[in-house]
Structure 1
Amino acid sequence: MKVLFFNPQQEMLGLQCLSATLKAAGHQTALFNDPRLFDNPWVRIGRTDGASYVHDAGLAAVAAHSPDLIGFPVVSDDYGWARAWAARLKARCDIPIVFGNCHPTFHPREVLGRPEVDFVVRGEGELTLLELVEALGRGKDFSKILGLGYKDQGNVRINPMRPLIPDLDSLPFPDKDLHYGPMPYLNHGYITMLGRGCPYRCSFCDNNSSARLYAEHGLAKRWVRRRSPERAIAELLWARTRYCAGHFRFNDEDFGYDQRWLREFCALFKEKLGLRYFAWVSPNTIDAKTARLLAESGCDAVEMGIQSGSERMRTEVLHRRVSNRQMESAMRALREHGIRTDVDLILGLPTEAKADLDETVELLRRGRPWGTYAFWLQYYPSTEIYALAKERGLLPSGTAQARAAGIHREGDIPRDALARRYHAFITLLPLLPDAFIRLCQRWDLIRYCPAFFNTFLIAQLRRLLKGGVYNEFQVRGYHLLWRESGRFLAACFTRKSS
């Protein structure tokens, strides 16, 4: 059996895991990448002359591969994109289409209500997708496939959830060739995850929603799982040999939450590889001892979520149990051990006031991270923060209707003018001297910060000015822009010439 995945621009590790499992069972996989040059988190223009070359290329990929099944990874922000592609494909061919990932997991009936979608895979998908592919090949029914949603003579059927995979060491290494073939520029730095699940229960995050969903089915006894240090190192050695990987990026939710595992892994990594790496960390688990362990093993950069500098917001709204003192201490420990630290924040939170934003600025001033990334809150119906805001009547006007209509993107959430000014200032803050930040705080000058600054461009400028360690996302982005812009311009020229 042959499966063709449609990919929304970035490297999707989940697709690589699915593909590896299918290939290990003797099936064939391929990938078509939609570059989404004008429909991504930073640029949304709508219809552009020449962009139809992507549609033609997608249809050509289907014709070339003749798949038995077409799959889409669908987080809520990509739901509209996936629906549009699926409808386009259904109008031209009668190939079954399956949606997987977060959105179908939480909203299977909504998704299967669409005529262009035939199946949904809920939760961890390796075994569910494998069984679906084999059932399609053998003409068997789908009623016994755990984790699957499907249509039966016009009726939507949702099977019970599949238990979590207890032993991650049993899974094959991710199929990097799936992406590296059509997207060779991704072979700059090696991205992987050495575990699954998150130990925290933040109100805004789908990890919390997923853990609750599995708990409702009595399947969340081992939500957080890790591969053994030996198996993790085996993949990295394989990646260095096969892809000449010289820098690694570990996308685990909190790389340091299991200190015993971390000590064993860091010792093996330093001994066997001796290279540099990036990791996601939490201030809950970073102290001077852990920062030193990370630095000595080769960690050159981390990203850490702090979300808000207001302890009230974190406790009452975000359900994050960590003090400002601990956050400041974590940032200082990482900085003192030479680890570049970017921090993530969320603005536009329900009940957020100017005093909360001022506390965020003060925490950042004291912590002095290398970089700041401030995102606007997006309300997803599966999250606790959505329920909280809805219960208190705090949802922005039109949000509930937009979500009910399947619209999941930043642009439909109104942003307070003052919050936009703080957004720009927070993004600029790592470039500003401490004395200037204090002056702005003392005289309440942040309210006058120009709100028209494009924070994405500010972040790029900050990278150029500050330099720093290797950043695979930045390198990949430049290659993507160069490659796909050339294809777009060639398509425009061909269209006008004809």
Structure 2
Amino acid sequence: MKCVLAAPKVEWEDEYYADDICLENPGIGLLASILRLQGCHVVIRDGNLENLSLSDLMSDLEGADFLGLSLDSSTIKSVSNWLFEVKNSFPNLAIALGDYAISMAWREALEQVPEGTVICIGEGETMLSDWAASGFSEETLTDLQGVAFQRDGEIHCTDPPLEVAKLDTLPWIDRQVFERVQHANHDTLVIMASRGCPFNCHFCSRPTFNQLAGAPRWRPRDFQDLLKEVIALEQRYGIQRFFLFDDQFPGSHKQATKRIQNFENVFGQFNRKYSFRVAMRVDTIDVIGDLGISAMWRSGVERIFLGLESFSKTQLISFGKPSSNAYRNITTVDMLERNGIAVHCGFINFSPNTSHEQLITNGQGLLRSRQGAYFRHFRSQLYYGPGSRMKQADSESRDNYQSYITLAPPEMKHIHSRLEELYKDLRYIDLRMERLDFRAIRSLKLKHGSECELDSLWWLWRETKEALAKNNHLMYEMVLLGENQIPLQEFSKQQQESLKILESSINKRVNNA
């Protein structure tokens, strides 16, 4: 059987990546290896490494039995239009969609794709292996775990997915795309050392995703098996630098010190021949201390992506972190630098319920603590992430309703007066603004009100764009699913008049700037 796996280009740079890291999609590479074990011929198309158009995909699908697409929130809307053309041209083709966003918004996604399209919920390795063993028969879908699909106008969702209990039993990632299009400046490969996150931040969807199958929040690989893969990749490609695309490299606070000791036992013997970039939390650095940081340095860790804490005490409390101290950020960066490890910071500045005062506190804290100099990427997270407890608490009760939406509290419309001052030292700002459709927005009841929130969204969008446009050294990026703006006719008459006045005011200030 011929299988095609594709991942359209993600429309923003992820905070974990740097310019010299190969942005290959590790998920489809792993699934390709799973399908090869079933005797399938697999073609991978990765939009992060190569151009991927509908015509390219249609060409690859000649003679194919299966198409698997890895979609995130920036690609689901555009690719759904592709699927209707694909289905018209290849009516017997089995199609499956997967990844975090799809898993959490499977019901909404099914409304936007051709009937018969399968949504993979949660981890897909076991499901895909079982479906391939049946020849991708539609009749076997109800026997698979972790799938949703439409049949005869009715939506079906099977039992929860099966997790991979031991990651070391998985095959290594198929690197065929990297082999085909590798560039001279790509001297780093992504590799998996663990899966999930042991923490339970209420604004994050990772814990929810991992618990879809009842799996532990965090599962590690054995470092001896990781070493085998590292050596094999070095022998094949001559690459000695690796990005461990884990959410939390050393695991929980109880596990962290021992996990790092084990890492040094395996990789410390190579005298930093192999280089690693990992992701960790500020409070985990506190737990392992200077001894743990030194052990990571001896093991080859050259840079840590550091998830900073909020500088606002009230925001920390709202995040479920009452004991956290935001100024650990400063001491943590100093500890890492003192031990020779570079720092790459990321920061969730605000959620839909964040107040203007909290934004000001965060911005001033960043600048006072010199964190702006460390930022490659500053993410202002404006959406209720799929599966986040924060969204579930504020939305109307509805079974399996996990749609991406974007809203902001009314006081955020005042942020424009401080944007330039607060963000002038940051090199990159990624303002995510996402939604599936207008119905998702209308179905929510927020603490600050209901449809009046749309005024705030418009304010924040336009005023932020204006402020950032005045700083040539800042890149501005914003992603909206679907249209580039909410259609004006979908607002009330009063809101339409307010937006017209607002747009006129903004245009005058821009023209006079």
Matched, 1:32 2:6: no
2:6 match? 6
Q: 1:106 to 1:35 in 2, by over 3 A?
A: closer
Considering only aligned residues, what root-mean-square deviation do their CA atoms show, in Å? 3.6
SS at match of 1:280: strand
Matched, 1:247 2:263: no
CA distance in 2, matches of 1:56, 1:338: 48
SS at match of 2:246: coil
CA shift for structure 1 position 334 = 0.8
Higher helix proportion (structure 1 or 2): 1
2:20 match? none
CA shift for structure 1 position 279 = 0.9
What do the CA deviations read for 1:118-171 (whole angstroms, capped 9, x no partner)? 211111111101111222356752222111223444432211112321111111
CA distance in 2, matches of 1:448, 1:124: 37
State the identity %: 17
CA shift for structure 1 position 385 = 2.3
CA shift for structure 1 position 458 = 2.9
Matched, 1:165 2:164: yes
| TM-score, reference length from structure 2 | 0.71
Matched, 1:366 2:369: yes
SS at match of 1:3: strand
1:101 match? 99
Which of 69, 73, 77 aligns to 1:76? It is 73
Matched, 1:458 2:474: yes
Matched, 1:89 2:93: no
What do the CA deviations read for 1:160-208 (whole angstroms, capped 9, x no partner)? 1123211111111111224442565795311112011101111221113
Residue correspondence of structure 1 range 124-163 to structure 2 within 5 A: 124-137=123-136, 141-163=140-162
CA distance in 1, matches of 2:391, 2:124: 26
SS at match of 1:123: coil
CA shift for structure 1 position 78 = 2.2
**Retained in 1: the 8 A contact 2:280–2:304?**
yes
Matched, 1:210 2:209: yes
CA distance in 1, matches of 2:464, 2:24: 39
Q: 1:170 to 1:91 in 2, by over 3 A?
A: same
How many pairs does the alignment contain?
413
Moved more, 412-421 or 116-125: 412-421
Which of 35, 55, 60 aligns to 1:22? It is 35
Gaps spanning 5+ residues in structure 1: where? 38-50, 392-399, 432-446, 461-498
CA distance in 1, matches of 2:133, 2:264: 40
2:188 match? 189
SS at match of 1:4: strand
**Retained in 1: the 8 A contact 2:94–2:117?**
yes
CA distance in 1, matches of 2:49, 2:298: 39
CA distance in 1, matches of 2:328, 2:296: 18
The residue type paired with residue 384 of structure 1 is R
1:311 match? 313
CA distance in 1, matches of 2:344, 2:264: 21
**Retained in 1: the 8 A contact 2:356–2:414?**
no
SS at match of 1:174: coil
Q: 1:86 to 1:412 in 2, by over 3 A?
A: farther
Q: 1:421 to 1:295 in 2, by over 3 A?
A: farther
CA distance in 2, matches of 1:106, 1:31: 24
2:389 match? 384
Gaps spanning 5+ residues in structure 2: where? 10-22, 428-462, 477-513
CA distance in 2, matches of 1:108, 1:448: 32
Q: 1:342 to 1:105 in 2, by over 3 A?
A: same
**Retained in 2: the 8 A contact 1:427–1:458?**
no
CA distance in 2, matches of 1:70, 1:110: 20
Q: 1:33 to 1:454 in 2, by over 3 A?
A: farther
| TM-score, reference length from structure 1 | 0.73
The residue type paired with residue 375 of structure 1 is R
CA distance in 2, matches of 1:384, 1:418: 27
CA distance in 1, matches of 2:404, 2:472: 23
1:263 match? 261
